[in-house]
Chain A
Amino acid sequence: MRLILITLVTLIVATIVGLGATWMTATRGVNVGTIKIGAWTARPKTGTSDIDPYSRASVARSGELPVGTGDGVMFTATTDDTGRLLDGRCDIVVKGVTPAARFWTLTFYDPKGRLVANTLQRYGFTSQEIVRGSDGGFEVRVTSRSRAGNWLPTGGLDRYMLALRLYDTPVGVGTRTQKDAPMPSIVTVGCP
């Protein structure tokens, strides 16, 4: 009787630990081959056949198709430069320059990777349509109220993520630091 009980406890612990760890890693991802530049992270190997098992599980769970390496690379950010989670009720400024790429796009997603509806049908910017300063840099204001210039509406969503995709770019598996890939800064300038 006691043996059965102990075996049962062992199996229950095994199930909880095992599946719990899988759920955690598939939802949040594991930092295998992750490039981290400022608030931005990318996993360029996700777009190759060398994709690690954790990223495969994460891709299968979310239902996305990773950007292939010959196509480009996707950086995502869920926090600002100080590590504070991006909040759609705050005024956030994405500013600076981007790494070398033929085209890039900046897109606003909810935490599950869905686009967020707004009346302007403005879900992001491409490198062609963005308004730049005289130095070639740009400044995007991610806020819930309308702003002049490059305005990306948040719809007041409390949590969101930004994706910066570089297309036809040398940035990839070999990239390590800000020097290889100068990413724009993300700063929370004010919260109501």
Chain B
Amino acid sequence: MIRWVFAIIGGALLGGVVHLVSVLVLPRVATLDAYSRLAPITKLNAVTALPAAEPGTAPMPFMDPAFASAACRYDLSNGPIKLTVPVSQSYTSVSFYTRNDVAYYAINDRSAGRRVIELDLMTAAQHAELPEDEEVTAADRLIIDSPTSTGLIVLKALAAEPGLMPQAQASLAAANCRVQTDAPQAKR
């Protein structure tokens, strides 16, 4: 009898371990996470408009229907990414996610403070390799370190009224996301 009690208590304790391990492993093995959902419909290192957040077409749950959105699925192994997003009329934001959907950085048009949000995305190693050139490290160049070499950049533009949706989509269509092939040049 006592053996069975031990067996069940032991099982429960072991269950705790199974629980902790499975919680930690789940994000890595999930096949229907946001990155996996967007991977087939987005281009690598280029901006792709996402389907409208409407019933039936929304590629992910919990999308805000008031926003036009676009994504740039990136891979930094060929070099840093340069991202430029023109600011739309009402509100524009750029959010960065790792391969495992962790939002590690987000910025909106006001904190960017200009008509165009301009960012350089690179891995920590690529950042360390940057020449310590004054002009390159100028304050007007915003450099983001990506914790993983692949991930997602999601661009969102608010359509404050349904009629403004085409305008919001158009402003995102002008966004650009590409690999910097040559060494970063000193601007201006």
A residues lining the B interface (CB < 8 Å): 2, 6-7, 9-22, 25-26, 46-49, 51, 53-54, 56-57, 59-72, 74, 102-103, 105, 107, 109, 112-117, 121, 123-124, 126-129, 163, 165, 167-168
- The complex places the Cα of A163 from the Cα of B65 at a distance, in Å, of 11
Whether A60 pairs with B30 at a CB distance below 8 angstroms is yes
CB distance from B65 to the nearest CB of A (A): 4
Whether B18 pairs with A15 at a CB distance below 8 angstroms is yes
Q: Is B162 engaged at the interface, CB distance under 8 Å to the other chain? A: yes
Q: Which of B8, B30, B103, B161 contacts A9, CB < 8 Å?
A: B8
- The complex places the Cα of A14 from the Cα of B63 at a distance, in Å, of 37
- Per-residue CB contact flags for chain B residues 8-37 toward chain A (1 = under 8 Å, else 0) read 101111111111011110110010111011
- The complex places the Cα of A191 from the Cα of B113 at a distance, in Å, of 49
The residue in chain A whose Cβ has the minimal distance to the Cβ of B97 is A65
Taking CB atoms, residues of chain B closer than 8 Å to A67 are: 95, 103, 106
- The complex places the Cα of A51 from the Cα of B32 at a distance, in Å, of 19
The residue in chain B whose Cβ has the minimal distance to the Cβ of A48 is B103
Taking CB atoms, residues of chain B closer than 8 Å to A68 are: 93, 95-96, 103, 105-106
Name the residue in A65, A69, A109 with the highest tally of chain B Cβ atoms < 10 Å from its Cβ.
Answer: A65
Q: Can you list 6 pairs linking A and B with CB atoms under 8 Å apart?
A: A10-B8, A47-B103, A49-B104, A70-B107, A115-B53, A121-B162
The residue in chain B whose Cβ has the minimal distance to the Cβ of A30 is B23
Taking CB atoms, residues of chain B closer than 8 Å to A25 are: 23
CB distance from A57 to the nearest CB of B (A): 4
Whether B3 pairs with A6 at a CB distance below 8 angstroms is yes
- The complex places the Cα of A35 from the Cα of B56 at a distance, in Å, of 31
- The complex places the Cα of A59 from the Cα of B93 at a distance, in Å, of 20
B77-85, B121-129, B150-158: which one contacts chain A?
Answer: B150-158
Q: Interface size of B by Cβ–Cβ distance < 8 Å?
A: 65
Taking CB atoms, residues of chain A closer than 8 Å to B66 are: 105, 107, 124, 126
Q: Is B135 engaged at the interface, CB distance under 8 Å to the other chain? A: no
CB distance from A4 to the nearest CB of B (A): 11
Q: Is B141 engaged at the interface, CB distance under 8 Å to the other chain? A: no
Whether B11 pairs with A14 at a CB distance below 8 angstroms is yes
Q: Which of A63, A113, A128, A129 contacts B33, CB < 8 Å?
A: A63
- The complex places the Cα of A6 from the Cα of B63 at a distance, in Å, of 49
- Per-residue CB contact flags for chain B residues 111-153 toward chain A (1 = under 8 Å, else 0) read 1000000000000000000000000000000000001000010
Whether A57 pairs with B18 at a CB distance below 8 angstroms is no
- The complex places the Cα of A128 from the Cα of B147 at a distance, in Å, of 36
Q: A11-B14, A65-B97, A126-B66 given as contacts; is B27 within 8 A of A59 (CB)?
A: yes
Whether A17 pairs with B37 at a CB distance below 8 angstroms is no
- The complex places the Cα of A53 from the Cα of B34 at a distance, in Å, of 17
Name the residue in A57, A71, A121, A163 with the highest tally of chain B Cβ atoms < 10 Å from its Cβ.
Answer: A71
Q: A67-B103, A109-B62 given as contacts; is B108 within 8 A of A167 (CB)?
A: yes
CB distance from B144 to the nearest CB of A (A): 11
Whether A60 pairs with B100 at a CB distance below 8 angstroms is yes
Taking CB atoms, residues of chain A closer than 8 Å to B36 are: 63
- The complex places the Cα of A115 from the Cα of B63 at a distance, in Å, of 8
Whether A60 pairs with B27 at a CB distance below 8 angstroms is yes
Q: A9-B7, A48-B104 given as contacts; is B55 within 8 A of A129 (CB)?
A: no
